[in-house]
Amino acid sequence: MLKIRLRRMGSNRRPVYRVVVSDGRKPPTSAVVEEVGYYNPRSQPSEVRLDRDRIDHWLSQGAQLSDTVKSLLKRAT
């Protein structure tokens, strides 16, 4: 099952997250199908960039949103 979730990037104590589509049965650090966004919680205000068209495409294909990505989508709208 595909999931749209966050993948942690960046150095120690300076997290930056990518919003990715990946297999939900594998760890978040494994290979991804596609990157669909970016989230930087350290900037003021927090920077969120999401490709809504690609997210809608993957949702129509049966992918599921993680709780955090769901809240980011609500905030970005």
Over the stretch 6-60, which tens digit does the pLDDT of each residue have? 999 999 999 999 999 999 999 988 889 999 999 999 999 999 999 999 999 999 9
Q: What is the DSSP letter of 64?
A: E
pTM confidence score? 0.90
Contact 18, 74 (CB under 8 A): no
CATH number at residue 55: 3.30.1320.10
Locate 33 and state its tokens: 């199908």
Contact 61, 42 (CB under 8 A): no
Q: What is the pLDDT of residue 77?
A: 73
> What DSSP string runs through 26-37?
S-TTS--SEEEE
21 located within any domain: yes
